[in-house]
Amino acid sequence: MDISWWTTDSLQKLFPETQKPAGASTGIELWAARNETEDAQVGIAVGEKQRISGASFAFSDLKGPRNHTIPKRFLRGYWQWFVYVHANPPKNTDPATYLRGAPAFFPDAFLEEEKIAIRGRTTQPLWVCVRVPADAAPGTYTGRLSVRLEGRDGRAHAFHVPIVLHVWPFTLPQRPSLHHTEWLMPEVVAGYYHVEPWSERHWSWMARIAADMARHRQDMILTRFTELVDVIDRGKGPLAFDFTRLDRWLDLFEAAGVEWIEGGHVARRTGNWESPFAFQRNWAPLDAFGKRLDTSPEAMSDARFRRYVEALLKAVHAHLRKRGAAARYVQHVADEPIPANRDSWCRVADTVRKWLPGVRRIDAIVGDELRGHCEIQVPQIQHVTGPSRLRSPEELWCYTCLAPQGIYPNRFLDYASIRNRIIFWLCWTLKLKGFLHWGYAYWSTWGGVPVRIPISPWTDATGASLYCADTQPLPAGDPHIVYPGRHSICSSIRWEVVRKGMEDVELLVLLEKAVRRPKRARPAARGKGRDLLAFVKDRIAPTPAAHTHDDALLLRIRREIGDTVARLCPEG
C-alpha cells in the first residue's frame, strides 16, 4: 500500500498535504508528572491512488517498573478534522504571523469517530493523549499504539508505534495555580442541539461541559444569576427567590472540579461602544401568577428596576454564604469599559460594591485602569506590561479575544500552536493570577449577521461573522475552542494546547517553590533551577511582544524544568 507514517510532537500542525519529513521519528517518547497529560501526533500520508475505507487504532497498557501498569484507558486517540478558514486575522499583514494564507484547511477539531476513511493524496493526523494517574509509580513505561488501515481493494495495512513514557516522581496539584475561565452561554448550547433550555437533555450537556472544563484545568464558570434564579414579586410582602436551578448548576460544576463562581454582568452599554453603562434589563421577575413583569423603560422606572437588581444580588450572596461558597465568588459589572464610558462604569461598580461588601469585582477592561473600583482587573494581554499596571495593588489577569492580533499571541485557528501555549508561560512571567476568554462554545451566528442561518463550527469557525457589514469579523476559532459532537463535547488542538499551557504553569510554580526551599537539596540542582527560571523570563516568555516561536526550545526547557523539579523534590 502507498502509505507512509511518522510521529511528531503536539506543537506541530499537520496539513492535508504535509509529507513525511526526512529523518522523522516513528516512535512516541514523553515525559510527564503524575496527574499530567502529555500529547503527541501520528501523521499518516496516503498516496494519490490509494483509498482507505477504514482507519482505526488501539492502545496497549503501558508496562512500568516493578510490574506497575498504566492501563490503556488512560491513553486516548483522536482523528483530527480539517476546518476551513476563510480569512486570516485582518490585522495580520505580515505572513509570518500565521501559518499559511487563507482560504485554506487547518487541523483543529477532534472527531468522535474512532474509525474513519482517508482519501488519496491526503495526510491524516491522529492526536495521542497519555494521562498519568495521580498514583502512578515513577519510572519508565512502555507500550504501543497499533493502527490498522483497510483499503477499498480489500487489502489491509497495520503498523505499530512504540510508546515510551517517563513518569517524574512528583505530582501536579489538582487545583490550578492560575485561575482560568472560558465563558459558556447555555442558551447557545440549547439552541444548537434543539433542546428546551434547562430540560433534562440540556442539563446532560451541561454535565459533559463541566467535566470537559475540569479536565482542561478550568476552575471558574460564568454564572448568570438572572437565568438561574427566579425572582418572585407577589405584590405584597418581601420578594421570594427560587434557587433550584442555581443550586443544580453549582452542584454540577463543583462536583466536576470547577469551583469558582463568576457572577454574570449586571450592566451593559446603552448604545454604541462609547455610550454609558446602565443596569441591563434583559431579565424580569415573575408576578404571583408566574408571568414575567414588563421591565422595559416605558413600563418600569430605573429606581424600581434597580431595586430588583439589588435584591437579586444580595439574595444570591446570602445563598452562597449558606452554601459555603461566598469566598469563591467574584462579580462582573459590565464588559470592556473604555475611557469614554469609564465614569458610568465606575458608578455602577460602586453601587455593586455597596450591595456586596467584600465581594471582589472583576472585568475585562480596554485601555484604562480602574484602580479603586475593580479588585480583579483583566486587560488584554498586550496591555499588561505597563509599569503602573504591574505595580497596581489590584489582582491582575489577562484576556484575549478577537484581539490582539499581529505579533501578539492568541488562540486563532491559523496560528502556530506555540502562540496559544505561550500565553500561559507569559502569565507566569508577568505574575498574573488568571486568564479569561469569552468563547468556550459560541456555536451561533455573530451579532452583525443579517440572516439567522444555522451555523456549525465544523464548517465555519467565525460564526458567519465574515458576512458582518458593520463589525470586524471574528478571527477563525475566536468564538469557540470546542466542537459539538453527537454524544460528547469534542476537543481541539487548541483546547489541548491550553491544557498543556496550564500544566506548564504548574511545573514553573513547582520549580519556583523548590529553589526557595531550605537548602537541603544539591546546590547544582538549585542553581540549575534558578537558571531555568531566569531563562524563561528572559528568553522564552519575556513579554507578549517578544516570546519564543521555537517549538523545540520550549519543549526542551519544559523537560529540563521537569527533570530539575524531580531532582529537587523527588516523591513530592
Cell of 332: 462582573
Using DSSP's 3-state secondary structure scheme, residue 437 falls into strand
Query: Confidence band (pLDDT; 50, 70, 90) for 96?
Result: very high
Task: Name the burial class of residue 263, with classes exposed (0-12), middle (13-18) and buried (19+) by CB atoms within 10 angstroms of its CB.
Answer: buried
- How far the first Cα of the chain sits from its last, in Å, is 49
The whole-number average pLDDT for the span 47-68 is 95
| Cβ(174)–Cβ(150) below 8 Å | no
| Cβ(137)–Cβ(169) below 8 Å | no
Using alpha carbons, list the distances in angstroms from residue 386 to 137, 376, 381. 45, 16, 11
| Cβ(261)–Cβ(328) below 8 Å | yes
| Cα(279)–Cα(266) distance, integer angstroms | 6
Q: How confident is the model over 382-393, as pLDDT tens digits?
A: 999 865 565 667
Cell of 45: 500520508
> What's the pLDDT score for residue 522?
78
Using DSSP's 3-state secondary structure scheme, residue 424 falls into helix
Cell of 386: 505597563
| Cα(102)–Cα(379) distance, integer angstroms | 29
Tell me whether domains 3-169 and 179-507 share a fold: no
Percent of the chain with pLDDT over 90: 89
Query: Confidence band (pLDDT; 50, 70, 90) for 571?
Result: low
| Cα(252)–Cα(144) distance, integer angstroms | 36
Percent of the chain with pLDDT over 70: 97
> What's the pLDDT score for residue 166?
98
Whole-number average pLDDT of the chain: 95
> CATH for 179-507?
3.20.20
| Cβ(259)–Cβ(266) below 8 Å | no
Name the CA dihedral angle for 511, 514, 520, 525, rounded to a multiple of 10 degrees. 10
Question: What is 3-169's CATH number, 2.60.120.460, 2.60.40.10, 3.40.50.450, 3.40.1000.10?
Answer: 2.60.40.10
> What's the pLDDT score for residue 262?
98
Q: How confident is the model over 212-270, as pLDDT tens digits?
A: 999 999 999 999 999 999 999 999 889 999 999 999 999 999 999 999 999 999 999 99
| Cβ(43)–Cβ(125) below 8 Å | yes
pTM of the model: 0.97
DSSP state of 25: B
Q: How confident is the model over 442-487, as pLDDT tens digits?
A: 999 988 787 777 889 999 999 998 887 677 789 999 999 999 999 9
**Residue that is written with C-alpha cell 497495520 in the block:** 158
Q: What is the phi/psi pair of residue 234, to 5°?
A: -85, 5
Amino acid at 176: P
Q: Lowest-confidence range among 70-79, 120-129, 282-291, 387-396?
A: 387-396
Query: Confidence band (pLDDT; 50, 70, 90) for 300?
Result: very high
Task: Tell me the pairing of strands 122-131 and 179-182.
Answer: unpaired
> What's the pLDDT score for residue 153?
84
Q: Return the domain boundaries, the chain.
A: 3-169, 179-507
Using alpha carbons, list the distances in angstroms from residue 89 to 464, 479, 551, 556. 14, 13, 22, 30
Measured at the alpha carbon of residue 237, what is the angle toward residues 234 and 239, in degrees to the nearest 5? 60
